[in-house]
Structure 1
C-alpha cells in the first residue's frame, strides 16, 4: 500500500527538515575526530571490510571510492562542520548517501556507542532505517517517479523521531525539533481514509518491494480501465498475458495499490471495491542450501465459477453477484490454471456483468477479453540492464555487478523477471556462484532448466498438446520439426515436412502463437526460448527417430535448393517471368517460388476459361488459396483477382458476389503493400496494381470517385515514364473525370479532364506507344 501524494509532500518536508541535523551530526563527529586530511586519508586506507560482513562487496567498492576522492570528501565534511558552527548554509555539502555510507564505514570506530543507535532494537535495524531514509528521500526528490509505501514511510518517521529524541538540540539549527515534531504530528493526523468501501488487497501477494521498468504496462491499464484525455470508452475486461514469471501478478497488485493511493488523493472516488483473487497453485523458488530451483505448491483461492462468485459475494456483503450496482475492479489471477469448461464459464460471467464491474485477468495464454496487453520478457538492452541493476539496489542484494554481468543474467534467464530475481537471490546468499547458476540455466539438460520450463508453461504446453492432438493435428511432430529445423521456418516447409495442408499448418501455428509457444517474424515461425527447453525435455524422440527427422529436413532443404536452381534456369529462359519477378521484388526465396508458380498456374487457368472447363478452373482457384497461406505477398491476391475477372463473364455472369470478391482481393493486394511490403510503394509493380484496381472500380463497380483517387496515384507513381501503362491510366482517368462531371456538374472535374487531355495529346507527339493505345479515338472521345 502507498501513502497519498499529499502525504508524500508532508513527508518530504519532514525529511528535508531533518536532513540538516543528520548531516550536522555525522560531519561534527568526523571533523572532530579527524582534524587533518592526512589523518582522515590514513584511516580510510587502514579500514578493511570483512568478507563475512553483510553487503561486504558493496561497502568495499564504496570504501575504494572514498579513498580515491578523500581530499574532496574531507573538504565537504569540513564545510558542513563550519555551517553547523556558524549556522550558515552557503557551503557545498556532501550527498546524504555519502554521509550515511561514511557513517556505516566508520560505524565501529565512532558511531556504535551513540545514543541514536541505542534507540533502535538492534544495529541491523539502525542500518536498515538509514537505508530506507536515504531511498525515500531520493524518491521524494523526484516527484512522480516512485510511490512511497506505507511501511517505508512509517520506518522513516520512526527513524527521524529517534533522532529528535536523542540528538543534541544544537544540531537542529536549520529546523528545530519542535518544528519537525509539529510536521510529524500533522502528517500522522492526516486523514488516512480513502480506501474503497470493500477491498481484500491485504491478502494479495506482494513479493516485490517496488515495480521496476513496467510503467508502460501500468499506464496501459490506467488508460484501458479508467480512461484518458483521448480515450473515453472504458474496457470491461483486460487480460495481461505472458509467460509464467514475467510479472503479471506484480503489475496487477501494483496497479491496485496505486488506485488506493489515488483514492486517498480524491481521485476515482466512484471505485467502491478493489478485489483480487488468485488461482495460482505453485511458485518457483530456490533451495536455500543448494541453490537449485524447485516448484513449490500452493492452494488456489478458487477453481470454479461458483467458488469465484462466492468469494466476490463474501467480500461485497451481498447474496448474489448480479446485485452489484456500484463501480469497481476485480482481478482474477492465473486463470489458465482453471479447467477449460470452468474457465469459459468465468469468461462468459465477465461478459454478462454490467460495465461498472471491470476485470483484470492474468494468464499465460491470450484470453477472450476486450483489451489484451502482452507482458513480454526483458531483452538484453538498456531497459533489461536497468531492470537488473535496479533490482539489485531495490532488494538490497550484496552483489557488485561487473561489466557484462547484467547481460549474462538476461541471456541465461531469457529476460524472465522471476528467474532474474532467483539468480540474484542465489548469488546474494552465496549458495551458488554466478558462473554456476548462469551455466546451469543455459544448459537445456540441467535440472534448473527443466524446472523453469515446467513453471513457465504450466497448464499451457500440456493443455495445448492435448487439445491439438485430440483434434487430429500432428502437434508433436510439428514441434519436433520446428525445433530441429536450425532456422526459422515458414508454413510451406511445415506443410511439406508434415504432409498436411497449409491451412491446417497455419491454424495449428496460430494456436501455438496465442499460447506463446511459438513466435512469428514476418512469414517465419520459431519456438520461444523457453519453449525450446520444454520441447527438448518433453518431446524429442530417441536418437533413431531423431536421426530420421533430421534426414527428412535435410532432404527437404536439398529439394528446395534444387527447386530454386530450376527456377533460376526458368527465369533465364522466360523473359516475361523474369521481368515480373524483378518488378514484384520477392522478399525471400518462398516469395520467388510462389510468384513463379502463380505465373504458371494463371496461364493454365486461362486456358480452362477458353475451353469452358469450370471444374478445372475452380481447382486452380483453390491452388491460389493454398498459396495465400504461404505468403502475404501482394502478387498472390492480385493474380487471383485477375483470374476471377477472366472467369467472371464465362462462369459467374450476373453474380454480384464475384465482383465483391474481386474488389476484396484488389484491396488485399493494396493493403499488403501498405503494411507488409512497404518497399514496393511507388514501384512499377505498385503502379500496375493501382492501374488494374482503378480500371475495375471505373468499369465494373462504376465507383468513379474511388477510381479517380486510385488512378491518380497510379499515374503519379509512373513518374517520368511515358509507356503504354501511362497512356492506359490516363484513358481511364479521363473516363472517370468525365463521368463525375456528368454526375455532379462540378467544374473541377471538367477542368481536370481538360488538363489531362492536353497532357496526353502533347505526350503522344513524341512518346506514343506503337500499339495498345489509339490516340485518334481518344481525341474523338474527349476533345
Structure 2
C-alpha cells in the first residue's frame, strides 16, 4: 500500500529540511576530523570495510568511487560546513548518497559516539534506516512514478524524528527542529481519503518494488481508466508472458497505485479493487545453498465457483451477477488463470464477457488468452533498461551485492532476462551461499539442478499443456521442437515439414499454436525457439545423445540438399533466359523464395499442357501443389501463379463457375496485399506493374468491373511508361481503353473520353513497335478510331 500524493508532499517537506541538517552535521564532523584534503584522502585509503558492515560488498565499490572523486567531495564538505555559520546554501554540497556513504564508512571512527543510534534498537537498524532514507528521499522527488509504501514512509518519518533529537540545534540552520517536528505531525494527520473496498493486503509479489515497468503500468491506466486521447475503456485486459517476468507484480503495482490515487480523490466512481490468484507454487532460492527450489502455495480459487464465492464474500453479494447493479464501477484481477483447467477457464471467460464495462478485469496468464486488449510482458534484454533493472533490484531489495556492468549483462544473459530468476539469483549472492561464477555456470548448463528446477517451474501449465495437446492431436511436436532447436538458425515451414516428414499445412498449424503459447517467435516466414524456452524448457524434450546425433545428421543432410538444389537452380537459370528474367523480376527475398518461384514457373508451364489435353484431374493436382507452396512462403508470385493457372483452366473446366472467378480475384488481391505489407520493396517495379495489369485485365474482361479495372491498369501503364514500349504496355493500354470506353458509355462523363483519347493517340504513335510486341494494332485503331481524331 502506498501513501497518497498529498501525504508524499508533506513527508517530502520534512525529509528535504532534515537532509540539510544531516548533511551539515556529517560535513562538520568530517572537516573537523580531517582539516586538509591530504588528511581526508589518507583517511579514505586507510578505511577497512568489515564484513559486519551492512551492505559491505556494495560499500567496497562506493569507497572506490569516493576515492576517485576525493578532491571535489572534500571541497563540497568544506563549503557545506561553512554554511552552518554563514547560512548560505548557494554553494556546492555533497550529494545525499555521498553524505550517507561517508556517515556509514566512518561510522565506527567518527560517528558512533555522537549518540545517533540511541533511539534505534541496534546499529544495524540505524544503518538500514540511513539507506532507506536515501531511497525514499529520491522517491519523494517523483511521487507519481515512484510511490512510497506506508511502512517505508513510517520508518523514514521515525528516522527523521530520532536523529533530529540526537543532533545539536546548530545544524538546523535551514529548517528548525520545531519546523521539522511540525512537518512530521502534518504528514501523520493527513487523512486517508480512499473510500474503496479492496483485498490488496493479501496480494503478494516476489520483490519489494516494481522496477522498469512504467510503460506497462501506463498501458493499464490508459486501457482501464482512459487518458487525454482515449475515452473508450477496455472491459478486460490480459497480461501474458512467461512465468517470472512480472505479470503479478505489474498487476498488484497498478492496483496499489490506483488505491493511492483514490486517497487523493481521483477516480471517484471506482468502488472496489479485488485481486484473486490461482498461483499454487513459487520459485525460490535456498538461503543455505543458493539452489533454486519450488515452494508450494495455496491457491485462492481453483474453479469458477470458488472465484464467484470469493467475489461475493468481499463485496457482500448474494450472487456474483449482482455486482454491476450494486456497484458503480470496479476492477477485479484474476491472476495465473492458466492454472485452472480448460472447462473452468471457459466459465470464467464467459462470466467476464457477460458483465457490462463498469466491471473491469485484469487477467494474467502464461498463455495468450482471448481478452479485449492484450499486453505482452517480455523479459528484460541485455540493454540499458535491463542493466538498470538489475542495479535497481539490488538497491530496492537491500542486497549486499556489488555487480559491474559486465556482471549484470552476464546475469541478464544466463537468466534470459527473467525478473524472478534474477531476484532469486541475487538473493543467493546476498546470502554468500554461491559465487557469481557458480551461479552463472549453473544457469548456463542445461543439466544443472538450477536449470532443471527453473524448467520444472516454467514448464507447468504452459508448455506441458501445449505440447500434450498437440501430441494427443497426432502431431509430432517433440520432433518439431527438437528440429527447430537444433537447426542453429531460423527455420521456415518447408524445412520443418521435410525434416519432420509432415505436410506443410500441419507444420504451420503446430507452429502457430506454439506461437500463441510463446514457445516460438516468428520473423517473416521464419520460426525459432524463444530464447527462454530454448534455455530452460527444451531440457524436458532433449533426446538421448544417440538420437541427438542422428537428428543433427538429418539436419546437416537437409541443409546440404538445399544447398545443392540452389546450385542446380543457378545452373538452370543460366541456361533458361526466360526463367532467369522471371526470377530476377520478382526479386526473391531468400533462397526459399527463389526455389519456389522457379518451381512455380515450371508448374505453370506443365499445368497449361493439362488444359490443352483436357486433363482436369492432373490440372487440379497442380493446383493442390501450388496451394502447398503458398504455405511455404507468402511471396506474391505464389498467389499470382495460382490466379493465372485458374484463369487458364476456367473456360475448359469451370465455365460459368462464379466460385472459381472469386478464387481468381482473391488470389490476385492476395498477391497485391503481400507486396503492400510484406514485400514493399517490390512496389513500383516491373513485377508490381505486371501483377496490376493481370488483375486489371481480369476485372475488365471477366468481371466487367471497369471502374476498378481502370485503377489497376492506370497504375500498370504508369510504370510501363517509364520503360521501353513492349507487349505489357500494349496490353495495359488496350484493356484500359476498353474500360474507359465502357465507363464513358455508362456515365457519359467526358473525363473518360479525354483519358481514352490520350491513350489511343499514344498507342497510335507507337504503331511501328506493335509488330515486335505481337499486338494487333490495326484492330485497336479501328476499334477506337473515334478517339484519335
TM norm structure 2: 0.94
Task: Name structure 1 gaps, 5 residues minimum.
Answer: none
1:63 aligns with 2:63: yes
Note the 1:285-364 alignment, pairs <5 A. Answer: 285-325=284-324, 326=327, 327-364=329-366
Verify the 8 A CA contact 1:723 1:769 in the aligned structure 2: no
Cα deviation for residue 640 of structure 1 reads 0.6
Residues 278 and 589 of structure 1: CA distance in aligned 2, closer, same or farther (over 3 Å)? same
Residues 151 and 769 of structure 1: CA distance in aligned 2, closer, same or farther (over 3 Å)? farther
SS of the aligned residue for 1:118 comes to: coil
Pick one of 484, 487, 492 that aligns with 1:485.
487
Note the 1:599-748 alignment, pairs <5 A. Answer: 599-718=601-720, 720-724=722-726, 725-748=728-751
SS of the aligned residue for 2:117 comes to: helix
Task: Name structure 2 gaps, 5 residues minimum.
Answer: none
Pick one of 456, 459, 483 that aligns with 1:457.
459
Within 1, Cα distance between the matches of 2:470 and 2:401?
45
Verify the 8 A CA contact 2:207 2:423 in the aligned structure 1: no
Per mean C-alpha deviation after superposition, the further-off stretch among 532-541 and 667-676 is 532-541
Per mean C-alpha deviation after superposition, the further-off stretch among 131-140 and 738-747 is 738-747
Note the 1:470-509 alignment, pairs <5 A. Answer: 470-509=472-511
Verify the 8 A CA contact 1:450 1:533 in the aligned structure 2: no
Cα deviation for residue 50 of structure 1 reads 1.7
Verify the 8 A CA contact 1:483 1:535 in the aligned structure 2: no
Partner of 1:108: 108
Verify the 8 A CA contact 1:243 1:457 in the aligned structure 2: no
SS of the aligned residue for 1:130 comes to: helix
Residues 54 and 609 of structure 1: CA distance in aligned 2, closer, same or farther (over 3 Å)? same
Partner of 1:49: 49
Verify the 8 A CA contact 1:694 1:710 in the aligned structure 2: yes
Note the 1:370-519 alignment, pairs <5 A. Answer: 370-519=372-521
Report Cα offsets for 1:469-527 as digits up to 9, x if no partner.
22111222222322333333221122222222111111111111111222222222222
SS of the aligned residue for 1:217 comes to: helix
Cα deviation for residue 284 of structure 1 reads 0.8
Per mean C-alpha deviation after superposition, the further-off stretch among 708-717 and 219-228 is 708-717
Within 2, Cα distance between the matches of 1:334 and 1:260?
22
Residues 186 and 593 of structure 1: CA distance in aligned 2, closer, same or farther (over 3 Å)? same
Cα deviation for residue 269 of structure 1 reads 1.8
SS of the aligned residue for 1:359 comes to: strand
Residues 109 and 543 of structure 1: CA distance in aligned 2, closer, same or farther (over 3 Å)? closer
Partner of 2:249: 250
Residues 628 and 40 of structure 1: CA distance in aligned 2, closer, same or farther (over 3 Å)? same
Verify the 8 A CA contact 1:3 1:261 in the aligned structure 2: yes
Verify the 8 A CA contact 1:80 1:92 in the aligned structure 2: yes
Report Cα offsets for 1:673-713 as digits up to 9, x if no partner.
12222222222111211221222233333444433333333
Within 2, Cα distance between the matches of 1:207 and 1:479?
31
Within 1, Cα distance between the matches of 2:733 and 2:386?
55
Partner of 2:182: 182
Partner of 1:24: 24
SS of the aligned residue for 1:271 comes to: coil
SS of the aligned residue for 2:400 comes to: coil
Within 1, Cα distance between the matches of 2:497 and 2:352?
38
1:549 aligns with 2:548: no
Partner of 1:591: 593
Residues 609 and 121 of structure 1: CA distance in aligned 2, closer, same or farther (over 3 Å)? same
Report Cα offsets for 1:42-92 as digits up to 9, x if no partner.
322222112443322322222233333333222222211221112222322
Partner of 1:158: 158
Cα deviation for residue 318 of structure 1 reads 0.3
Per mean C-alpha deviation after superposition, the further-off stretch among 418-427 and 696-705 is 696-705
Verify the 8 A CA contact 1:640 1:665 in the aligned structure 2: yes
Cα deviation for residue 745 of structure 1 reads 5.0
Residues 598 and 179 of structure 1: CA distance in aligned 2, closer, same or farther (over 3 Å)? same
Per mean C-alpha deviation after superposition, the further-off stretch among 634-643 and 71-80 is 71-80
Pick one of 564, 569, 572 that aligns with 2:571.
569
Partner of 2:221: 222
SS of the aligned residue for 1:113 comes to: helix
Within 2, Cα distance between the matches of 1:547 and 1:157?
65
Cα deviation for residue 777 of structure 1 reads 4.5
Within 1, Cα distance between the matches of 2:718 and 2:231?
40
SS of the aligned residue for 1:275 comes to: strand
Residues 775 and 360 of structure 1: CA distance in aligned 2, closer, same or farther (over 3 Å)? same
Residues paired across the two proteins, number: 781
| 4+ aligned runs moved over 6 Å, structure 1 | none
Residues 532 and 64 of structure 1: CA distance in aligned 2, closer, same or farther (over 3 Å)? closer
Cα deviation for residue 240 of structure 1 reads 1.3
Partner of 2:7: 7
Verify the 8 A CA contact 1:241 1:372 in the aligned structure 2: yes
Cα deviation for residue 738 of structure 1 reads 4.3
SS of the aligned residue for 2:600 comes to: helix
Within 2, Cα distance between the matches of 1:505 and 1:619?
21
Report Cα offsets for 1:121-156 as digits up to 9, x if no partner.
222222222222222222333464422222222222
Residues 539 and 193 of structure 1: CA distance in aligned 2, closer, same or farther (over 3 Å)? same
Give the RMSD, CA atoms, in angstroms.
2.3
Report Cα offsets for 1:544-573 as digits up to 9, x if no partner.
433443343333333333332332232222
Residues 129 and 661 of structure 1: CA distance in aligned 2, closer, same or farther (over 3 Å)? same
Cα deviation for residue 776 of structure 1 reads 4.8
Within 1, Cα distance between the matches of 2:743 and 2:124?
85
Cα deviation for residue 535 of structure 1 reads 5.9
SS of the aligned residue for 1:274 comes to: strand
Verify the 8 A CA contact 1:722 1:767 in the aligned structure 2: no
SS of the aligned residue for 2:488 comes to: coil
Verify the 8 A CA contact 2:600 2:641 in the aligned structure 1: yes
Within 2, Cα distance between the matches of 1:46 and 1:255?
47
Per mean C-alpha deviation after superposition, the further-off stretch among 207-216 and 537-546 is 537-546
Verify the 8 A CA contact 2:282 2:296 in the aligned structure 1: yes
Cα deviation for residue 623 of structure 1 reads 1.4
Residues 693 and 267 of structure 1: CA distance in aligned 2, closer, same or farther (over 3 Å)? farther
Within 1, Cα distance between the matches of 2:386 and 2:648?
56
Partner of 2:34: 34
Verify the 8 A CA contact 2:193 2:265 in the aligned structure 1: no
Partner of 2:236: 237
Partner of 1:133: 133
Note the 1:267-282 alignment, pairs <5 A. Answer: 267-282=266-281
Per mean C-alpha deviation after superposition, the further-off stretch among 172-181 and 633-642 is 172-181
SS of the aligned residue for 2:77 comes to: helix
Partner of 2:370: 368
Per mean C-alpha deviation after superposition, the further-off stretch among 707-716 and 80-89 is 707-716
Per mean C-alpha deviation after superposition, the further-off stretch among 121-130 and 318-327 is 121-130
Per mean C-alpha deviation after superposition, the further-off stretch among 148-157 and 281-290 is 148-157
Cα deviation for residue 754 of structure 1 reads 4.5
Per mean C-alpha deviation after superposition, the further-off stretch among 746-755 and 683-692 is 746-755
Within 1, Cα distance between the matches of 2:474 and 2:640?
34
